[in-house]
Amino acid sequence: MSTDAGLDGSHRRLWNTDTGTLTEPSRRVLLEILKGPYLSGRKKPQLWAALLADEAAVRSRLHDLFLDLVLDRTDEVAFTRKVRTQEVDVPQALRSERLTFIDTAMLLVLRQLLLAAPGEQRVIVGQDDVYERLMVYRDGDETTFRRNLNSAWGRMRDRLRVIHAVGEDRAEISPVVRFIVDEDRVAALTASYRDLAARGGTVAPDSPEPDPEETER
């Protein structure tokens, strides 16, 4: 492996034709964040340390792709999202995950449970407890509704990775769930869902929302 310095003395090549400018640890951080859905400092402490050491350079490379770095030092999570600005027309850089009605409702429940345990190192919930909180949206027979809940739970675990299995029918809620839906959207969705629940639930839980929620990744 070549380690020749660049013309300005700041670049050390990782291979003969390498024109990149980041250090090797920073490149690995950038790749991990772009792969998504997020980087966890608790699960990958070496990459987290590399990110903190070279945050400005990583953030700059993401800006080249119209992406912002969201970094929570307390819970040690970092992920990317599209730059939010009115100054330029920002292209869509990340794949968007289209969520169903019940997906979004489950996200709100998980977020609520996480925020109800401030200061806790780990927030672990039972699958049945989460399901019970969603029963107000049941519209149809229980078997179909349970199947929809199971599908949503699987998406939370395997696609969005906002929960991590810790045993049979139990999961740890990732701190990143706080950022999946922003505060304004949470308020609007919560009000709409409360109204829907009060009316007995009239939207099929496996259908997209009338104004579907999308999350990057």
pLDDT band at 187 (very low <50, low <70, confident <90, very high): low
Question: Quick one: 52 and 131 in the same domain?
Answer: no
The alpha helices in 123-182, defined as continuous H runs, are 127-134, 142-158, 177-180
The model scores a pTM over 0.85? no
Question: Quick one: 112 and 47 in the same domain?
Answer: no
The tokens describing 121, both together, are: 């190192």
Distance in angstroms (rounded) separating the CA atoms of residues 121 and 128: 22
Query: Can you tell me the mean pLDDT for 25-36?
Result: 93
N-to-C CA span, the chain? 34
In terms of C-beta density within 10 A (0-12 exposed, 13-18 middle, 19 or more buried), how is residue 118 classed? exposed
Query: Can you tell me the mean pLDDT for 81-96?
Result: 82
Owning domain of residue 111: 96-216
Which CATH number does the domain housing residue 29 bear? 3.90.1150
Question: Helices 45-53 & 24-35, crossing angle to 10 degrees?
Answer: 110
Q: Which of 36, 69, 94 is the last residue of a domain?
A: 94
Residues in the chain: 217
Tokens 């009000």 belong to residue:
191
Contact 176, 163 (CB under 8 A): no
Distance in angstroms (rounded) separating the CA atoms of residues 35 and 41: 15
pLDDT band at 209 (very low <50, low <70, confident <90, very high): very low
Q: Could you tell me which residue, 68 or 203, shows the higher pLDDT?
A: 68
Is residue 193 pLDDT above 70, yes or no? Answer: no
